[in-house]
Amino acid sequence: MAESTQLQQAQLATILGPDPAPFQTLISHLMSSANEQRSQAELLFNLCKQTDPDSLCLKLAHLLQFSPAAEARAMSAILLRKQLTRDDSYLWPRLNPTTQSSLKTILLTCIQQADNKSISKKLCDTISELASGILPDNGWPELLPFMFQCVSSDSPKLQESAFLIFAQLSQYIGDTMVPHIKELHAVFLHSLGNSPNPDVKIAALNAVINFIQCLTSSAERDRFQDLLPAMMKTLMESLNNGNEATAQDALELLIELAGTEPRFLRRQIVEVVGAMLQIAEADTLEEATRHLAIEFVITLAEARERAPGMMRKLPQFISRLFAILMRMLLDIEDEPSWHTAESEDEDAGETGNYSVGQECLDRLAISLGGNTIVPVASEQLPAYLAAPEWQKHHAALIALAQIAEGCGKVMTKNLEQVVAMVLNSFQDPHPRVRWAAINAIGQLSTDLGPDLQVQYHQRVLPALAAAMDDYQNPRVQAHAASALLNFSENCTPDILTPYLDGIVSKLLVLLQNGKQMVQEGALTALASVADSSQEHFQKYYDAVIPYLKAILVNATDKSNRMLRAKSMECISLVGMAVGKDKFRDDAKQVMEVLMALQGSGMEADDPTTSYMLQAWARLCKCLGQDFLPYMSVVMPPLLHSAQLKPDVTITSADDNSDIDDSDDESIETITLGDKRIGIKTSVLEEKATACNMLCCYADELKEGFFPWIDQVAPTLVPLLKFYFHDEVRKAAVSAMPELLLSAKLAIEKGQAQGRNETYIKQLSDYIVPALVEALHKVCHILKKFIKFPSRPGLTCGTYSAQVQFCGDGIAKPDLGALRSPPKCFTLLTWDRACLLRVRGVSPIGMHESPNRVSLTGLSERYPILGRSGMKCCLISCWAPISGPLLDENQVRSIVEEIKQVITASSSRKRERAERTKAEDFDDEEKELIKEENEQEEEVFDQVGEILGTLIKTFKASFLPFFDELSSYLTPMWAKDKTPEERRIAICIFDDVAEQCREAALKYYDTFLPFLLEACNDDNPDVRQAALYGLGVCSEFGGIVIKPLVGEALSRLNAVIQHPNALQAENVMAYDNAVSALGKICQFHRDSIDAAQVIPAWLNCLPIKGDLIEAKVVHDQLCSMVERSDRELLGLNNQCLPKIVAVFAEVLCAGKDLATEQTVSRMINLLKQLQQTLPPATLASTRSQENECAWALSRISTAAVTFAVSTTVSPNSPPPWLLVRASKASKAKAKPKPAPSLSLSHSSHWRCFCTAAPRPWLFVGLGNPGDKYKGTRHNTGFEMIDAFANSQGIAMNTVHCKAIFGQGNSWKFGIVGFVGGVPVFLAKPQTYMNLSGESTGPLAAYYKLPLNRVLVFHDDMTLPCGVLRLHPNGGHLCHNGLKSVIYHFRGNREFPRLRIGIGRPPGQMDPKAFLLQKFNATAQGRIDAALQEGVNILKVVLSKGFAESARRFNSEQKYKHLRVETLPT
């Protein structure tokens, strides 16, 4: 070991010594394609970085400046950039100032000397990367002057380089560039308008577009409007000069602008779109140029979130674009190979034009919708169908299939015409037209099902059966079988069963066809038919299974591998359809064949492997525990597949001889900088399948999987950070809780081979940190994407062109270039959800603090709140759980995030103010700003919640951080701030005063004047928070507050004596004023006229609005009576009647007004009064005697509890309009109902109690009408009905487009009190996809915060009959939830009850599956689940959502199914 270390030290000394040759050799080896040589070079390079970073960087810089080899200079630029990138290996802070200065000088010198364009670009990347880290701190003051000097020079090369750097700095640190906006505008305008060099113009265009995107103010962006003509001129000049390569670069940049800032184009949209369509129509231009012009227009159409309706306002252009795309579909050749069907290439004869036309029709229809596209299609398609050319017939049918997804609703209304149009073409003389008609039926079966199946099965199925007889055209036969698959996926058994005799017999004939593609199509269709017909397929089992087994045994040639693989799939699905009893004997034979095949050793690229893994899993699902004996055979190859290493090849980007010449279609390439990376996707697919199957086995076998945990866990846990394939990571993540559950059940049932709970703890300690670390990494990726968003249409930008050298010799591409943000966000959600599941499954307390995860970069999951909101949301969720585990550095990181949130909020407010001044400001924009203001308030609410939690947790230890925040919080008290900001600022001080007590006295001089003034604020929310704080200060302020007691009494008197003090919106402030007055009486009696003030306080009692303060105040009253407080009782006990009346009212009003202990004390006092007062006194106070007797009569003789009967006056506002909260909330909540469509989370942190609980709105999602009754998609309706029936609530009222309950109601609403809690029940009648049109108005009408709106919906990700309660979440691709979220203004923070319905079988379309009815077995599970749901909903009403969800979810069997199975 010592010798090895000495050898390395000697090598390092040589490499970093004065002789440049060894270092040049090292760099050369880093570029080697030999893994061993490259790995050794990576090791030495990393050692250099650790031991002497200064010498390493200077060596790289020297090589960059002086090496004669261009490849070495390029690699030096890449490596130098990597060292100067702000990530885990960031070297700049470790370099001494001399090295730093030298590097900056050398880089700028190299830019001026570079004669190679590729190296110049890499130099620009390096300079930009370094500048992004040091320029904001004025660490490179020479750079910007140098860049402006380059732009003004006569050298096109320097001009281009400067613009490249400007472009990247705009991406990295755009804010730093904004102060130079005037100079940049002038530079851009001059270069775009006057430069003769096309490269300079494109670089300037790139810089302009990136800079526009970095501007947060619409006014700032508008300053660049005058550049748009010059930008378009750059494009058109390139085209006119025949320089299409430059034009394509310009188009790519403009596409980026259209996607990110479409409103920038609004004023000149007609000219810009017209020019693009002109380019698209120019047949003399290259296809790539025309395609990019089309992509620009499609991108604008898809940017409807940023520019809603902008393209729909240009119908003349939509019609013109549709015509262009239709003409592109005519670009197809009648290739002979298509007819011979010797290969599976269905695209034979199709051109690039044809493919682009197909894709863009689909995207256009989805983005603009049926109301816009169907009229255009109806106008143009008939002419194509009437034309004599087969290509036009073909184009019309293809177009019809392509637009069906986006136009489904409108096309369904015209189903007769659509179906007739397609079926007429089944008889067309040209086989490619017949193929297109069959293709259209297949697509329409998916997009317009099940309506098409229900209404036209008697016409479509015979037509498909006839098409299967077209033996002269085997490709048509095969496609008819595929279309049958699509049609049957949306079929219920009652539709399909009458046709099964003919269908199965035809498919069996096709199985004997000589064309392999026909056989494969028949196998796939047969599997789907079996899935859809379920138990009805048993009739055909004996006839079908011999054919399937024969193919499995005999299809042994390499050319038949896919045929054999599909036979495995079909057998396993047929077996699941007919059930274990029917399939058992054949299953044994099939598994013997599979075992033999598995043992024979298959080639690495054999597709059979993946199919076999899935077939084994289906067999396991079918046989259940009977499958356990085969696990010893299944698991070794499955683990081998799961452990496959990614097959990665690295070559030079300029080398076209390796990867591009490969015939392996499974290799995908990505170009990163000067490297091209080839990844063999077939290996990754096999790995992903294996990981999914491991998860499936653990899920299905439960404790039976225990013997394999020790091998599976070390295989899957490292894959939590496997970034080459999302499905691998997802499978690894979702398997973690299954492994823990398996171990838990095995130990509980004594099947753990002697292991005990210590094993679970060890397993969880192994899993949870890995999950947390994986979450860290995803957060890091997200941060990169926010900073460096990918460009549409490009593989990667120069900003992500780097390669990370891994210890295993594999060059791992920079993650930013390999992933799209939505996928990253999905993985992040997956990681977090699994982490929570793991914590819920394990019975042993986890010690890993969630706050140890990075708290930045997560907001993109919650676009409604933005980055700041997500930070707050995440911290506020985790801080209460694990606050005590935070160390000082972690608390500081949270505080720094809060500072950023507040700063960012101020910036957003300024931006919104600027937007209101824009010339195109309209009502739509006004509404948007209103929504954003509401979201901003929610962000501040979360800031307050976080700080409140930290203050409560750390108390006085947090005050140094509070001091840091003071400069951010103090401005929030100002009158020009929103009421919500002022309320939050007051509440934070309230928490400091209450939790820190004596340590907080030093802040009184600063904040008490603000607090006293706020006690009489116009806003009741602000008043309430201030009055609560005044009470806290009165209790803990001691001598500091004594001089202010007089002013405090005056402020309190103004609140209490106000004529509207007891109105609903003011009552919470009133109660807090009474409470504060009581504390002054208690703690500062010597500073007041007690004989006047205390009786005045008594006359305010009881208080009933703020139930928390009510308990405090009434307990104080009880104590004063017990000690016979003289001022309270008054002269000759004259106040005693009032005291007795208060006691009686408190006791009769309900236990919410006093604690159990206080109630007991009041009862004892009343008894004493009744027994001890002299008769004369009682006679003079007969009223209180009666009150005492009546109250005492309500007392149970068995206990000191009492019956409560809460009543509401018919003339008073419903008491539940006020908000309930926990003790921690107290006086900081809003006294009035939560605003319409509130963005609050579960219990609003500043909310208050009232005399009755706030209502719940239960909404079940589904489709109206008998046609949909009993379908899987209507389980939300069924849950509403089950709950209504259990409570005797009649659902016979219509309100807000929903079926509502009827009963003793207030404005359509309270359909019943369940356990004393008012409940609304609703079934929206808008159809599922428009559920929000009812749910949103309902929540707004009753002014309910979203945490009181519980939505019931079906969920395909849960097994049939499994329920889960969730406090929030995304839409899970559920259209009903999408609509609800949309009408909740994008807010996802509402609870939901997820009702598992299982996954679709095989390849069945989810839409068809959702609209099928349950079979008997599944219906039994659903019925049981509905009863469970009713029970848990009662618990939610009585115990609250959080506690109910935690307990209920841990009892439910939460599963993630990983195979395509027949749903029960």
User: pLDDT higher for 107 or 633?
Assistant: 107
pLDDT of residue 927: 57
Q: Cα-flanking dihedrals φ and ψ of residue 1376, to 5°?
A: -65, -45
CA distances from 1175 to 530, 1133, 1143, 1169, 1180 (A): 91, 14, 21, 11, 9
In tens, the pLDDT along 143-199 reads: 989 988 998 888 999 999 998 998 888 877 777 888 888 888 888 888 888 888 888
How far is 1394 from 1368, CA to CA, in rounded Å?
Answer: 11
pLDDT band at 613; cut points 50, 70, 90 = confident
The bridge status of strand 1317-1324 relative to strand 811-813 is unpaired
pLDDT of residue 1174: 61
Q: What angle do CA 780, 783, 784 make, to 5 degrees?
A: 90
pLDDT of residue 381: 94
* pTM of the predicted structure, to 2 decimals: 0.55
Q: What is the mean pLDDT of the chain?
A: 78
With beta carbons less than 8 A apart as the criterion, state whether 1171 and 1164 touch: no
pLDDT of residue 219: 81
- Residue owning tokens 């409108």: 410
Give me the count of residues in the chain. Answer: 1464
pLDDT of residue 1086: 92
Q: Is the pLDDT of residue 514 over 90?
A: no
Nearest to 911 by CA among 222, 150, 19, 4: 222
In tens, the pLDDT along 339-369 reads: 876 766 667 778 888 989 999 999 999 888 8
pLDDT of residue 1099: 92
In tens, the pLDDT along 802-820 reads: 333 333 322 333 333 233 3
Q: Cα-flanking dihedrals φ and ψ of residue 1040, to 5°?
A: -65, -35
List the single range of 491-495, 985-989, 1047-1051, 1139-1143 with lowest mean pLDDT.
Answer: 491-495
The residues near 570 (Cβ < 8 Å, ≥ 6 apart) are: 523, 524, 526, 527, 530, 548
Over range 983-1011, report the average pLDDT: 93
How far is 1274 from 651, CA to CA, in rounded Å?
Answer: 54
How far is 1425 from 1417, CA to CA, in rounded Å?
Answer: 13
**Four-point Cα dihedral 854, 859, 861, 862, nearest 10:** 140
How far is 555 from 395, CA to CA, in rounded Å?
Answer: 38
Q: Is the pLDDT of residue 512 over 90?
A: no
pLDDT of residue 304: 59
pLDDT of residue 458: 92
**Four-point Cα dihedral 314, 317, 318, 323, nearest 10:** 170
H helices of 1089-1193, in order, are 1090-1099, 1107-1122, 1126-1129, 1136-1149, 1156-1172, 1175-1180, 1182-1193
In tens, the pLDDT along 870-906 reads: 334 333 333 332 334 356 776 787 788 788 888 888 8
Q: Is the pLDDT of residue 1238 over 50?
A: no
% of the chain surpassing 70 pLDDT:
79
With beta carbons less than 8 A apart as the criterion, state whether 605 and 662 touch: no
CA distances from 394 to 531, 706, 907, 1257 (A): 32, 56, 55, 52
Over range 762-766, report the average pLDDT: 82
pLDDT band at 827; cut points 50, 70, 90 = very low
**Four-point Cα dihedral 666, 671, 677, 679, nearest 10:** -30
Nearest to 1015 by CA among 1030, 1035, 993: 1030
In tens, the pLDDT along 60-78 reads: 999 988 888 888 888 988 8
Active site residue ranges = 1273
How far is 594 from 1065, CA to CA, in rounded Å?
Answer: 73
The DSSP bridge partners found for residue 1351 are: 1259, 1392
How far is 297 from 279, CA to CA, in rounded Å?
Answer: 11
Over range 1275-1293, report the average pLDDT: 88
In tens, the pLDDT along 1113-1168 reads: 999 999 999 999 999 998 888 888 899 889 988 887 667 789 989 999 999 998 88
pLDDT of residue 1246: 27
Q: Is the pLDDT of residue 850 over 60?
A: no
pLDDT of residue 1457: 32
User: pLDDT higher for 926 or 1328?
Assistant: 1328
pLDDT of residue 306: 66
The residues near 804 (Cβ < 8 Å, ≥ 6 apart) are: 82, 811, 812, 813, 814
How far is 297 from 303, CA to CA, in rounded Å?
Answer: 10
Q: Is the pLDDT of residue 293 over 80?
A: yes
Identity of the residue numbered 620: C
pLDDT of residue 1449: 74
DSSP codes, 1061-1079? TTSTTTHHHHHHHHHHHHH
Tokens at 712, concatenated? 């599976």
The residues near 493 (Cβ < 8 Å, ≥ 6 apart) are: 532, 533, 534, 536
With beta carbons less than 8 A apart as the criterion, state whether 298 and 363 touch: yes
Identity of the residue numbered 561: R
pLDDT of residue 949: 83
In tens, the pLDDT along 519-578 reads: 888 998 998 888 888 888 888 888 989 988 888 888 888 888 888 889 998 998 888 888
User: pLDDT higher for 719 or 652?
Assistant: 719
How far is 596 from 590, CA to CA, in rounded Å?
Answer: 10
pLDDT of residue 1132: 84
How far is 500 from 528, CA to CA, in rounded Å?
Answer: 12
With beta carbons less than 8 A apart as the criterion, state whether 139 and 97 touch: no
Report for 458-462, 624-628, 1263-1267: range of highest mean pLDDT: 458-462
The bridge status of strand 1317-1324 relative to strand 1256-1260 is parallel
pLDDT band at 1453; cut points 50, 70, 90 = very low
Q: What letter does residue 1038 receive in the DSSP assignment?
A: G
The residues near 1028 (Cβ < 8 Å, ≥ 6 apart) are: 990, 1072, 1075, 1076, 1109, 1226, 1227, 1228
Angle between helices 726-748 and 821-841 (to 10 degrees): 10
In tens, the pLDDT along 572-598 reads: 888 888 888 888 888 888 888 888 887
Q: What angle do CA 564, 567, 571 make, to 5 degrees?
A: 145
How far is 1155 from 1315, CA to CA, in rounded Å?
Answer: 20
Q: What letter does residue 1259 receive in the DSSP assignment?
A: E
Alpha-carbon torsion (526, 529, 534, 539), positive or negative: negative
Nearest to 1275 by CA among 1378, 1135, 1374, 1137: 1374
Over range 676-689, report the average pLDDT: 77
User: pLDDT higher for 601 or 1076?
Assistant: 1076
pLDDT band at 82; cut points 50, 70, 90 = confident
